[in-house]
């Protein structure tokens, strides 16, 4: 498969705080920048048309409803309402009409809908939400799970580490990705019982290039490509990262504004550098989180995504489709399962 292959993706045009406006503008941007991309938008047709720049590579499938950001019971909503833009976009992936889907919908709803509609790859025990972290130190890293599962057993973590390793190899060309286990100390034997067992399981797996335990204070300075943990801890790490980056940014602003001279210096010389810095720290270029374990490339972008961020999420999804990692992982799991059957 080469870069000229046309890739068709489903877009949930109604998910997120600024839908459909920013979503559709993101679609316009992605279509302009990626000549081989074809997008199907799911949502309110008249609202979408207000912002959509006409293009033969974009079509609309009208949906009468959407999954609200504050939805209390997404499972019930997804079960009972068959005309949700999110569900219909995911159905298109399940039916192989589209190769992947992108949404800014509420995380829990996206995870549930992926489970129920796209469905897990046969043999996968859990699905995992995997954001790409800001590229500090010029290196991109995956952290997972960050919230699809509150708790995970060691064998689940090993399996999602496989999935992430296959993704990085197939889609990003990273040979032998290095996997670290998020923990409170770097020595073996640190952490909770589940961490000690997971450490042993990862260490003894011949298909995983295991780094060992990694403390979060080192995560941006190590060679690890993939950081694994359960959904509860991963979510804490991710949200602490977000909160700290935001707080540090605000302190920086305050420091600059604290004197006449530094304010002047900022305006005269530093605006460009600061803009670059802010963009890096905000993670706008990252393009959302991937949902690993389901039978399709699903990208969940921030609820607060703007057009630029959303266009990057679409590109991330296309990159995943091009890498074909879901197929590779499917074949591996199917081979393992037939090995196990022969062993019996």
**Residue numbers of the site for its own copies (CB under 8 A)?**
136-137, 147, 150-151, 182, 184, 191-192, 215-221, 231-233, 235-237, 239-252, 255-256, 258-259, 261-262, 264-266, 268-270, 272-274, 276-277, 280-281
Helix (H, G, I), strand (E, B) or coil at 285: coil
Question: Cβ 305 to its own copies, closest distance in Å?
Answer: 16
The phi, psi pair for 147, rounded to 5°, reads 150, 0
Residues 6 or more apart in contact with residue 193 via CB below 8 angstroms = none
- For its own copies, which is the closer residue by CB, 51 or 266? 266
Q: What is the nearest approach in angstroms of its own copies to the Cβ of residue 163?
A: 22
250, 208 in Cβ contact below 8 A? no
Q: How far is CA 260 from the centre of its chain?
A: 42
User: What's the min distance (Å) between Cβ of 5 and its own copies?
Assistant: 36
The least distance separating its own copies from the CB of residue 183, rounded to whole angstroms, comes to 8
Which of residues 61 and 237 has its CB atom nearest to its own copies in the complex? 237
Q: Choose between 176 and 240: whose C-beta lies nearer to its own copies.
A: 240
Rounded to whole angstroms, what are the CA distances from 288 to 27, 36, 48, 96, 219? 15, 21, 22, 22, 19
Question: Least separation, in Å, of the C-beta of 15 and its own copies?
Answer: 18
How far apart, in whole angstroms, are the C-alpha atoms of residue 77 and residue 83?
10
- C-alpha to C-alpha distance for 280 and 106, rounded to whole angstroms: 24
CA angle 175, 178, 181 (to 5 degrees): 155
- Please state the φ and ψ torsions of residue 135, each to the nearest 5 degrees: -80, 65
**CB nearer its own copies, residue 32 or residue 276:** 276
Q: Considering beta carbons, is residue 52 or 148 the nearer one to its own copies?
A: 148
Residues 205 and 188: beta-carbon distance below 8 Å: no
Strand partners, 227: 143, 180
Are the CB atoms for 256 and 79 separated by under 8 Å? Answer: no
Nearer to its own copies, 75 or 328 (CB): 75
Instruction: Identify the three-state secondary structure at position 211.
Output: strand
Instruction: Tell the smallest beta-carbon distance from residue 66 to its own copies (Å).
Output: 21
Based on CB atoms, which residue is closest to its own copies, 76 or 82?
Answer: 76
6 touches 34 (CB < 8 A): no
In angstroms, give the least distance from the CB of 292 to its own copies: 19
| CB nearer its own copies, residue 194 or residue 319 | 194
Least Å distance between CB 118 and its own copies?
23
Place of tokens 């870069």: 3
């Amino acid at each position: 498969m080469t870069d000229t292959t046309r890739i068709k993706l489903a877009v949930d045009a109604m998910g997120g705080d600024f839908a459909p406006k920013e979503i559709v503008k993101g679609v316009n941007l992605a279509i302009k920048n990626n000549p081989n991309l074809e997008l199907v938008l799911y949502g309110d047709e008249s609202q979408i048309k207000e912002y959509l720049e006409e293009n033969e590579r974009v079509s609309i499938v009208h949906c009468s409803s959407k999954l609200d950001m504050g939805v209390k019971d997404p499972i019930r909503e997804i079960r009972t309402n068959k005309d949700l833009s999110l569900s219909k976009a995911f159905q298109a992936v399940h039916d192989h009409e589209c190769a992947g889907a992108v949404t800014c919908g509420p995380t829990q709803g996206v995870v549930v809908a992926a489970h129920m509609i796209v469905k897990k790859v046969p043999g996968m025990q859990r699905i995992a939400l995997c954001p790409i972290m800001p590229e500090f130190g010029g290196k991109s890293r995956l952290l997972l799970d960050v919230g699809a599962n509150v708790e995970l057993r060691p064998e689940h973590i090993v399996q999602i580490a496989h999935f992430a390793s296959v993704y990085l190899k197939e889609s990003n060309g990273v040979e032998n990705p290095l996997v670290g286990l998020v923990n409170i100390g770097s020595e073996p034997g640190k952490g909770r019982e589940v961490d000690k067992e997971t450490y042993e399981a990862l260490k003894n797996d011949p298909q995983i290039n295991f780094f060992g335990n990694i403390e979060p204070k080192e995560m941006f300075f190590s060679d690890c490509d993939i950081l694994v943990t359960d959904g509860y801890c991963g979510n804490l790490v991710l949200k602490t990262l977000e909160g700290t980056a935001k707080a540090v940014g605000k302190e920086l602003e305050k420091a600059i504004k604290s004197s006449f001279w530094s304010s002047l210096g900022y305006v005269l010389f530093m605006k460009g550098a600061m803009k670059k810095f802010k963009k890096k720290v905000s993670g706008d270029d990252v393009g959302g989180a991937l949902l690993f374990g389901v039978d399709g490339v699903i990208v969940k972008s921030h609820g607060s995504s703007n057009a630029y961020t959303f266009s990057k999420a679409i590109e991330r999804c296309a990159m995943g489709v091009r890498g074909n990692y879901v197929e590779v992982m499917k074949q591996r799991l199917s081979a393992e399962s037939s090995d196990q059957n022969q062993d019996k």
